Amino acid sequence: MDQDELEEFFTTRRSVRNFDPARSVAKEQLALATTWALNTPSVCNRQAGRVYYFTEQSDVERVLRLQNGNAGFRSSVSAVAVVTVDSRLFTGATERNQRWVDGGLFAMTLVWALHGVGLQTCMLNWSATNKSSQRLRRETGIDGHEDIVVLIAVGHADQGHRVARSERRGLEQVMKFI
Ligand SMILES: Cc1cc2nc3c(=O)[nH]c(=O)nc-3n(C[C@H](O)[C@H](O)[C@H](O)COP(=O)(O)O)c2cc1C
């Protein structure tokens, strides 16, 4: 990949909230993206990230109904990923937040990888109560030792879809040389 292609790759990912429901997502594409995401760095190489994909329409809607930020586009989503971390891989008070760092890195790499295989995504927050997490686990069969990091809506963007402007901060606000 040359610099222009990289620039194109990094500047064309945007959260999509308007998918083509008629286009399903191939499991092979999800598997390829996940294989790439295995390269995510992780603390002490513990590789705590896990991902559960739901691709049947009824499952997708059932899972999405448990999350609070997708009501406007739920019915157009072709697949949903639930990204978790295996909490058993972390220990002690000083590591209490490490799972969220490692899980977030895994989720972000996965989103880039899904972009790389030509799919569109929208991350969906799991800023939820323990009770909601227990319900999601119960409905999906996800084990109690897995902490839920984020959900990701996945699909093919609808033709002519529009994305939110989501203006970026200027580089000078974000980066400083010390
Ligand atoms: C952890 C996380 C949770 C998010 N949750 C939601 C959500 O619940 N619903 C939604 O429509 N977008 C959600 N988003 C998408 C953000 O709104 C979006 O990434 C941001 O506005 C920047 O836009 P962009 O992704 O198009 O660059 C989430 C993003 C992240 C990283």
Predicted confidence (pLDDT) at residue 11 exceeds the cutoff of 90: yes
76 CA to centre of ligand 1 in angstroms? 17
DSSP per residue over 80-147, as a string? EEEEEEEGGG--SGGGTTHHHHHHHHHHHHHHHHHHHTT-EEEEEE----HHHHHHHHHHHT--TTEE
Mutate-to-test residue for ligand 1 from 13, 15, 67, 162, highest number of ligand atoms within 8 A of CB: 15
Percent over 90 (pLDDT), the chain: 99
Q: Tell which residue, 74, 156, 83, has the closest CA to residue 119.
A: 156
At 74, give phi and psi (nearest 5°).
-50, -45
Q: Which residues line ligand 1 (CB under 6 A)?
A: 14-15, 17, 69-70, 122-125, 150, 163-164, 166
36 CA to centre of ligand 1 in angstroms? 22
Nearest atom in ligand 1 to the alpha carbon of residue 108 is 31
92 CA to centre of ligand 1 in angstroms? 31
Predicted local distance difference test score (pLDDT) of residue 105 = 99
Predicted confidence (pLDDT) at residue 30 exceeds the cutoff of 90: yes
Predicted confidence (pLDDT) at residue 1 exceeds the cutoff of 90: no
Residue 28 corresponds to which tokens in the numbers above? 């092979």
Would you kindly state where each structural domain of the chain is located, as residue ranges?
A: 26-156
95-123 pLDDT per residue, tens? 999 999 999 999 999 999 999 999 999 99
Between CA 147 and CA 47 the distance in angstroms is: 14
Between CA 138 and CA 174 the distance in angstroms is: 41
Which residue lies with its CA nearest to atom 15 of ligand 1? 123
38-82 pLDDT per residue, tens? 999 999 999 999 999 999 999 999 999 999 999 999 999 999 999
Q: Which CATH number fits domain 26-156: 3.40.140.10, 3.40.109.10, 3.40.50.1980, 2.60.260.20?
A: 3.40.109.10
Predicted confidence (pLDDT) at residue 12 exceeds the cutoff of 90: yes
Mutate-to-test residue for ligand 1 from 12, 110, 124, highest number of ligand atoms within 8 A of CB: 124
Between CA 167 and CA 14 the distance in angstroms is: 11
- Under 8 Å between Cβ of 60 and 22: no
pTM of the model: 0.98
Between CA 82 and CA 148 the distance in angstroms is: 7
Average pLDDT over residues 116-138: 98
- Residues facing residue 124 across a β-bridge: 151
When the pLDDT of each residue in the chain is averaged and rounded to a whole number, the result is 97
- Under 8 Å between Cβ of 32 and 96: no
Between CA 75 and CA 162 the distance in angstroms is: 17
178 CA to centre of ligand 1 in angstroms? 31
